[in-house]
Every structure is written in structure tokens, then in C-alpha cells.
């Protein structure tokens, strides 16, 4: 154990190496490490964010699916309703039409009856006049008794 000038030389070398490390080695290396750490952290955060948005999207999809199903069943139900309504409507229309046709037919029949009556009436009055003529054995002046006849006709 002999302490000598070597110690001073070693101390000087030590400080030189410390300065070199502190100036040229430590800062750039730490900068690289820290930058990479930050990049990795950012990447992880982005990945996490992506996963979150995926979960969100899946939730949204599920919601949309439920919504679409509800709407589809609504539409189907509405369709059913419309169909039954249309059937009902058609039935009603048909009934109305039938009634209308029936009514028209009845009216026509009535008219025919009426017409038949008219013509019958006219014939009856003619017959009556002819009968009366025969009874009276003389000609009844049709013109003179026109009022009487038409009144008679009306009574029939």
C-alpha cells in the first residue's frame, strides 16, 4: 500500500470520464430512452383508445340491431293491420255495393211495377170508357168527358 502520485492521475482521469459521460453519453441516451418510452406509452394509449372505441361501436351496433328489430316488427304489425283494414274495407265496400245494386234493382222493379200499373190503368180507363159506351149505347164525347176520365184515371 503505497499512496503516490498515481492517485492524483487516477482522480483526474475519473473526473475527465465523469465529464465525458455527463456531456456526451448520458443526455442523448436518456433522451432516446425517454422519447421511446413516451412513444410506447402513446402507442399503448392509442391501442387502449382503439379498444374502447371498438367496445363503443359494438354497443352501438347492438343498440342499432335492437332498434332495427323493433322497427321491423313494428312494420310487420303495421302491415298486418293495414291488410286486415283493407280486407275489412273491401268487405264493407262489397256490402255497400251489393246494397246499392239491390236498391237499384228494387227501384227498377218498382219503376217497372209503376209503369205496368200506369199502362194497366190506362187500359182499364179505356176499357171502362168502352164499357160505358156500350152501356150507354152511344158515343161518349171523349172530349167532353176528358176531365172526368182523367180524374177517374187518377183515382185508379
Closest CB to other proteins among residues 1, 144:
1
Report the helix count and the strand count for the chain, using DSSP H and E. 3, 0
Phi, psi of 141 (to 5 degrees): -70, 105
Least distance in angstroms from the C-beta of 73 to other proteins = 55
Closest CB to other proteins among residues 27, 79:
27
Give the three-class secondary structure for 3. coil
CA dihedral in degrees (53, 54, 57, 61; nearest 10)? -170
The rounded radius of gyration (Å) of the Cα atoms in the chain is 60
Q: What distance in Å separates the CA atoms of residue 145 and residue 156, rounded to the nearest whole number?
A: 17
Closest CB to other proteins among residues 21, 123:
21
Residues in contact with 149: Cβ distance below 8 Å, sequence separation at least 6, in sequence order: 125, 129, 142
Least distance in angstroms from the C-beta of 58 to other proteins = 33
Closest CB to other proteins among residues 35, 73:
35
List of residues contacting other proteins (CB under 8 A): 1-11, 13-15, 17-18, 20-22, 24-26, 28-33, 35-36, 39
Least distance in angstroms from the C-beta of 23 to other proteins = 8
Least distance in angstroms from the C-beta of 59 to other proteins = 36
Amino acid at each position: 500500500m503505497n499512496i503516490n502520485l498515481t492517485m492524483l492521475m487516477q482522480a483526474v482521469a475519473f473526473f475527465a470520464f465523469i465529464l465525458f459521460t455527463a456531456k456526451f453519453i448520458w443526455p442523448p441516451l436518456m433522451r432516446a430512452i425517454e422519447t421511446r418510452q413516451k412513444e410506447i406509452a402513446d402507442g399503448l394509449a392509442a391501442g387502449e383508445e382503439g379498444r374502447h372505441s371498438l367496445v363503443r361501436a359494438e354497443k352501438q351496433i347492438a343498440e342499432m340491431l335492437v332498434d332495427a328489430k323493433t322497427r321491423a316488427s313494428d312494420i310487420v304489425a303495421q302491415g298486418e293491420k293495414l291488410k286486415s283494414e283493407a280486407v275489412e274495407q273491401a268487405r264493407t265496400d262489397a256490402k255497400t255495393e251489393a246494397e246499392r245494386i239491390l236498391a237499384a234493382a228494387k227501384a227498377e222493379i218498382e219503376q217497372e211495377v209503376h209503369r205496368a200499373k200506369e199502362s194497366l190503368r190506362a187500359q182499364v180507363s179505356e176499357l171502362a170508357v168502352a164499357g160505358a159506351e156500350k152501356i150507354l149505347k152511344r158515343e161518349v164525347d171523349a172530349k167532353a168527358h176528358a176531365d172526368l176520365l182523367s180524374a177517374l184515371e187518377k183515382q185508379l
